[in-house]
Amino acid sequence: MDDMRNLVYEIAGRLYDLDADVYRTLGSGLGRVFNSSREETIRHLTQVMKEHRTSHYLRSSLALIGNMARTIPEKAERSRVMTEYNEIWQLIQKLPEHFGAVDILDKSLAGLNQTLAQNPLANRFGPGQHLIVCIGRTYGSAGTDIGFALADSLKINYYDTEIFTEVLERLEAKEDGIQDHASFAHGQNLNQNPQAVEKGLGIRGRIRQFSRYHGLPKTQAVFFNQTALICEMAQREDFVIMGRCADVILTNHQIPHVSIYINAPFETRIHRIMRQDNLDYKSAKKFLQKIDRRHRTYYEFFTSRKWGDVVNYDLCINSASYGIEGSVQLIQRLLPPRD
Whether 153 and 332 have beta carbons less than 8 Å apart is answered as yes
Nearest distance from C-beta of residue 99 to a copy of itself, angstroms: 6
Compute φ and ψ for 19, nearest 5 degrees: -60, -45
Whether 143 and 262 have beta carbons less than 8 Å apart is answered as yes
Tell me whether residue 227 or residue 259 sits nearer to a copy of itself (CB atom).
Answer: 259
Nearest distance from C-beta of residue 1 to a copy of itself, angstroms: 19
Nearest distance from C-beta of residue 157 to a copy of itself, angstroms: 4
Residue 260: beta bridge partners? 135, 315
Residue 137: beta bridge partners? 262
Tell me whether residue 49 or residue 149 sits nearer to a copy of itself (CB atom).
Answer: 149
Torsion on CA atoms 156, 160, 163, 164, rounded to nearest 10:
100
One DSSP character per residue, 182-225 reads ---TTS------HHHHHHHTT-GGGSTT----TTS-HHHHHHHH
Tell me whether residue 214 or residue 338 sits nearer to a copy of itself (CB atom).
Answer: 338
Residue 279 Cα distances to 144, 176, 264, angstroms: 19, 40, 19
Whether 183 and 189 have beta carbons less than 8 Å apart is answered as yes
Tell me whether residue 151 or residue 246 sits nearer to a copy of itself (CB atom).
Answer: 151
Whether 320 and 264 have beta carbons less than 8 Å apart is answered as yes
Q: Report the distance separating Cα 241 and Cα 158, nearest Å.
A: 6
Q: What is the CA radius of gyration of the chain?
A: 28
Residue 208 Cα distances to 45, 171, 198, 235, angstroms: 70, 10, 12, 18
Tell me whether residue 5 or residue 52 sits nearer to a copy of itself (CB atom).
Answer: 52
Tell me whether residue 203 or residue 222 sits nearer to a copy of itself (CB atom).
Answer: 203
Tell me whether residue 64 or residue 173 sits nearer to a copy of itself (CB atom).
Answer: 64
Whether 111 and 124 have beta carbons less than 8 Å apart is answered as yes
Nearest distance from C-beta of residue 268 to a copy of itself, angstroms: 5
Tell me whether residue 67 or residue 220 sits nearer to a copy of itself (CB atom).
Answer: 67
